[in-house]
Amino acid sequence: MRLFVRLLNEGTEVSRPVDGVEVGVGLFKLLPPEEYDPDTETWEFPPGSTVRVTKRRDDNGEYLLAIKP
């Protein structure tokens, strides 16, 4: 499933699309993309984290944003 996770220290609010797998009712584990480099971007929740999601809407439509479990 496609989720979004906030990137920290970017100077503006930005989120990155990532894949996640459902591991429980409403819980998802974030999967690391091949190009993930923790030295170049800081995720609010790093790959491997278990998160809940909330629906958000922007100019491109509705998306699922990772939030604390």
Number of domains in the chain: 1
Tens-place pLDDT, residues 26-55: 999 999 998 889 999 999 999 999 999 999
Positions of E strands within the chain: 2-8, 14-24, 27-30, 42-43, 50-58, 61-67
Range of the domain at 60: 2-67
Structure tokens at 4: 């979004």
Cα–Cα separations (whole angstroms), residue 17 to 3, 4, 47: 6, 4, 12
The pTM for the full model equals 0.88
Mean pLDDT, the chain, rounded, equals: 94
